[in-house]
Structure 1
């Protein structure tokens, strides 16, 4: 009888091992999610106080921003004739010029500081004209004006000394956004020839992965749901300003507009963060519309999201350099 017990025990052990051998292997671990990318940029980049405020926001959140600079703000009233837009006389601009030589000097200082802190200095052209009908030659003229004025801004305005490394900042410009987001065939032909690496003038139905072709990566501002009826709006402060108050100041409703903006940004972020993690692109101007409602929303949003371990708030240039270098961002999770 004891011998029979040993046989049964042995048989049971063999069956158990056989079962283990034929069991399904453990499922492979789920692929790690990429970090959520948020790309925040500013158009025109005029007001000195907003340069300082944005840089302070970046320092406390670890973000890197893109500044789409309009080069007319590097020309004083005395030097404005150094710019001639396509089909315009010298010294014409849709957005004016710098207030004074000192204003130019202060802005140049901010640009240098931002560049040294790792931010992306990019082009918004010069005079903020609608170039949808411009030819390739017109755009090349505008790009040449931007490059010349940025590189030689200290000399043009008689500001001394020019800081060491300034011209390297000017030569590092690789991105562009068209005024009014107004594009055309001539623009894209010129961008390729002028060796820009990215354009951020597009608009899309929600966040999309930016395509690259012909050496140019093309980013789009997404339309995101906003307000009580969740109607789509371009994720830019000016478009929200028009949505909320018809483009007129209503400071008494600033808190309401700021909260609506924040809620729209946060919902768009959460949708990607919990989903496919497509980069989220948000855009602003230095103008404090509706008593600063949109900047207040930006700061609230960035203070909450950019500091997360699995979120990166980076510039357009950072994103493109990673893709070109094959340096896909670090993954998180497991």
Structure 2
């Protein structure tokens, strides 16, 4: 074949190959989304029945929760003077103390069981005082009181059969904090790393937000989510819903309405992230059964639907932070 003919034949073959490539491109790889994370937490963690109820919910759904414990509930009326809040005399608390030595023992048992089941025990301080004007030294004093009382709770209250490893657990396991009333200040964020914490959950954001890490502290925020007929934003926490729905006064006759409104708000906030960017969704609760338990009923329905999904994880704050520390270590390594 003459040289020109060979070149022409090659060009035609190449053109045919190129045309085929344009006409039938390779199939695009499916985009794999990360799992949707939901972080559910409880403040104060007082009532024994609610400890049991929340742990049962976790067992049904595979969820892991964060319990922000108030340490005054590890002191009986007889041992209340073990706690002194910043600027107060000993034995003062905004939320009282445990009713009895037996109640303390029962609560300690629940804490141990929850920890053994993989749940996260965090600090809510002790006496539920507003620390907005506290200094770094004040915060460190409160953290020290929490640490001392948790670590020595069995001995302080004269409760026999302290579990092996309890004190080591108390020293090492608590790595997160949420301020009472979500009332934080600059002094708090100076004190947290000095006290050995890894995360704080005292923030509020306009919507679900990825938590930044500053000065070694990962800062989580409860989001404001649309709620009710007018879709007005409300902090995704049972107490804030209680105030929205009934002005902070019990209206048990409307509990069913409040259940539906709460569930609808949670589910809409979840669905938006699940179909979108999959930013972690945080929801906060107390052990108090406001409006005849409407908010817990909505929580159980919500968690029962979403936490069991294959591409959803209901995990604790500690779990979230641990994963990100591991990722950073892997990248650094």
Q: Normalising by structure 2, what TM-score?
A: 0.93
Q: Which residue of 2 aligns with 1:4?
A: none
CA deviation vs aligned residue, 1:149-193 (integer Å, no higher than 9, x gap) = 000000000001100121232121000000000011111110011
Q: Where in structure 1 do 4 or more consecutive aligned residues deviate above 3 Å?
A: 10-18, 21-25
Q: Which residue of 2 aligns with 1:227?
A: 228
Matches within 5 A, 1:1-334: 16-20=16-20, 25-26=25-26, 28-171=28-171, 172-326=173-327
CA deviation vs aligned residue, 1:4-56 (integer Å, no higher than 9, x gap) = xxxxxx99987643533566752641431000000000000000000000000
Q: Secondary structure at the match of 2:191?
A: helix
Distance in 2, Cα, partners of 1:104 & 1:198? 27
Unaligned runs of 5+ in 2: 1-9
Contact persistence 1:222–1:281 (CA under 8 A): yes
Does the C-alpha gap of structure 1 residues 23 and 98 become closer, same or farther in structure 2, counting only changes over 3 Å?
same
Unaligned runs of 5+ in 1: 1-9, 329-334
Does the C-alpha gap of structure 1 residues 29 and 287 become closer, same or farther in structure 2, counting only changes over 3 Å?
same
Q: Normalising by structure 1, what TM-score?
A: 0.92
Contact persistence 1:115–1:169 (CA under 8 A): no
How far off is 1:215 after superposition? 0.7
CA deviation vs aligned residue, 1:89-130 (integer Å, no higher than 9, x gap) = 000000000000000000000000000000000000000000
Distance in 1, Cα, partners of 2:232 & 2:315? 27
Q: Secondary structure at the match of 1:107?
A: helix
